[in-house]
Amino acid sequence: MLFHVRMDVRIPHDMDADVKADLVAREKAYAQEVQRSGAWPHLWRIVGEYANVSIFDVESNDALHDVLSALPLFPYMDITVTPLAKHPSAIGD
């Protein structure tokens, strides 16, 4: 199943710098692990924002929830999920 996911990150401004650096490093490592697995085939930054849009390819709603909720930055994100379906005019997969 394909999902379009927008993630807006809202780390508190008063978070300790070392805690923030560790959190961001763990987020990057986990995101790259999920990308290598094939479950996160597309990840784009939104220009001028601490946000991204992504395409996830997972087997179910629950699988997507598991991936997203395991993100170290998950507690600091506003996430919008849109399920995707093949368009009848699309010529490719």
Q: Is the per-residue pLDDT at 93 higher than 90?
A: no
Residues of the chain with pLDDT > 90: what percent? 98
pTM here is 0.92
pLDDT for residue 92: 80
Separation between Cα atoms, residue 40 and residue 3, nearest integer Å = 10
- Please check the confidence at residue 28 and state whether its pLDDT lies above 90: yes
**Please, which contacts does 83-86 make with residues 24 or more away whose CB atoms are closer than 8 Å?**
83/1, 83/2, 83/3, 84/2, 84/3, 84/4, 84/55, 85/2
- Say whether pLDDT at 91 is over 80: yes
User: Domains of the chain by range and CATH?
Assistant: 2-84 (3.30.70.1060)
pLDDT tens digits for 38-81?
A: 999 999 999 999 999 999 999 999 999 999 999 999 999 999 99
Mean per-residue pLDDT for 75-91? 96
